[in-house]
């Protein structure tokens, strides 16, 4: 029987190839996937990283925004754990529907996706409208399979009954809806510039605007009304029986309300990010990710 001799050169070459492969995969584009939640309704999501001892990080975007808005966070955390970012129904590449465009139905979509694909335990990270979605999720399903929750720069809506308390804010939102109906693109460009304070290239701005315009205007209006003036979701606050972190912009008009929310959550705490607008994870990605990573490590 021939005896194979050890070749240092061959070993070195193989090791180098493996290292290049690993390095390349670390910066690879997230996998784009579709999942059917009902007949004719598919939810699109981006997935990166691999299962590990760490919980799956689940990023849920705001009103009309797409999963790709979390690109920096997908790359930052994919080296450590599985991460996904979801296009909620009627947003991004998910199916556009004429009904079910509410936080309550979106929560049911997420539940089916997370359990069917065995992604639990998870850490839910909801931003803006995504905060309403997470509240609706916890209200319906509790925190079974949820390791922790992160609520980014929004309070939990008190619904129509809360209008007397938030009257001026609500009037402004309804006035802006009329502007949106007349000029969707112009409105959306203004919205993106308002929620992101860091300078954006024209290409980046166009990508964000084009993604938001994937949601039909009438559907987007219905979504916003359901978010702000639909169900009172504050009843879910006591059901957040896992560590819950509120990450708020120092410029937020709802900063006081977010502090109050954190104080009411059973295991709540708050971190405030300076020099950022509403999209704190875009304006201050390094700071946001440091806060999130510390929180993930603590709860894991």
Q: What percent of the chain lies above the pLDDT cut of 90?
A: 85
The token pair that represents 41 in the structure block: 């309704």
Average pLDDT value over all residues in the chain: 91
Which stretch of 6-20, 142-156, 194-208 has the lowest confidence by average pLDDT?
6-20
Per-residue confidence (pLDDT) for residue 20, from 0 to 100: 31
What are the pLDDT digits (tens) for 43-74? 999 999 999 889 999 999 999 999 999 999 99
Please give the class, per CATH, of domain 29-157+233-299: alpha beta
- Please give the pLDDT value at position 27: 52
Task: Supply the pTM of this predicted model.
Answer: 0.89
pLDDT above 70 for 40: yes
- What is the dihedral angle through the alpha carbons of 247, 231, 37, 25, rounded to the nearest 10 degrees? -10
Asked whether residue 21 carries a pLDDT value surpassing 90, the answer given is no
Lowest mean pLDDT among 32-41, 159-168, 231-240: 159-168
Which of the residue ranges 8-17, 107-116, 117-126, 210-219 would you say has the lowest mean pLDDT?
8-17
Q: What is the pLDDT of residues 184-230, one digit of tens each?
A: 999 999 999 999 999 999 999 999 999 999 999 999 999 999 999 99
Q: Where are the domains of the chain?
A: 29-157+233-299
What values do phi and psi take at 10, rounded to 5? Answer: -65, -40
Residue 158 sits at the vertex; the CA angle it makes with 152 and 162, to the nearest 5 degrees, is 130
Chain centroid, CA 76 distance in Å: 15
29: confidence class by pLDDT, cuts 50, 70, 90: confident
- Helix, strand, or coil (residue 234): helix
Cα–Cα distances in angstroms (integers) from residue 177 to residues 98, 170, 298, in the given order? 18, 11, 41
Residue 234: its pLDDT value, please?
97
The average pLDDT across 228-252 equals 97
In this prediction, residue 96 carries a pLDDT of 98
**Distance between CA atoms of 245 and 142, rounded to whole angstroms?**
17
For 79-93, what is the mean pLDDT?
97
């Amino acid at each position: 029987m021939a005896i194979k001799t050890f070749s240092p050169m061959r070993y070195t070459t193989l090791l180098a190839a493996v290292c290049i492969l690993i390095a390349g995969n670390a910066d690879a584009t997230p996998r784009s996937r579709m999942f059917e939640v009902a007949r004719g309704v598919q939810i699109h999501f981006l997935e990166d990283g691999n299962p590990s001892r760490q919980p799956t990080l689940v990023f849920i975007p705001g009103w009309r925004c797409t999963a790709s808005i979390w690109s920096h966070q997908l790359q930052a955390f994919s080296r450590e754990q599985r991460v996904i970012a979801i296009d909620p129904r009627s947003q991004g590449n998910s199916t556009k529907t004429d009904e079910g465009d509410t936080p309550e139905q979106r929560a049911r979509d997420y539940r089916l996706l997370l359990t069917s694909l065995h992604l639990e335990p998870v850490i839910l990270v909801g931003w803006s409208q995504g905060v309403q979605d997470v509240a609706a999720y916890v209200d319906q399903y509790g925190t079974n399979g949820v390791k922790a929750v992160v609520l980014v720069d929004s309070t939990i809506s008190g619904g129509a009954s809360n209008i007397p308390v938030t009257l001026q804010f609500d009037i402004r939102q309804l006035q802006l809806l009329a502007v949106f109906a007349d000029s969707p693109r112009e409105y959306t460009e203004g919205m993106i510039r308002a929620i992101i304070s860091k300078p954006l290239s024209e290409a980046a701005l166009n990508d964000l605007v084009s993604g938001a315009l994937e949601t039909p205007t009438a559907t987007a209006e219905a979504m916003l009304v359901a978010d702000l003036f639909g169900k009172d979701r504050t009843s879910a606050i006591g059901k957040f029986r896992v560590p819950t972190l509120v990450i708020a912009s120092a410029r937020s008009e709802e900063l006081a309300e977010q502090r109050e929310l954190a104080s009411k959550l059973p295991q709540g705490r708050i971190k405030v990010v300076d020099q950022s607008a509403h999209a704190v994870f875009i304006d201050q990605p390094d700071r946001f990710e440091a806060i999130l990573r510390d929180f993930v490590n603590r709860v894991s």
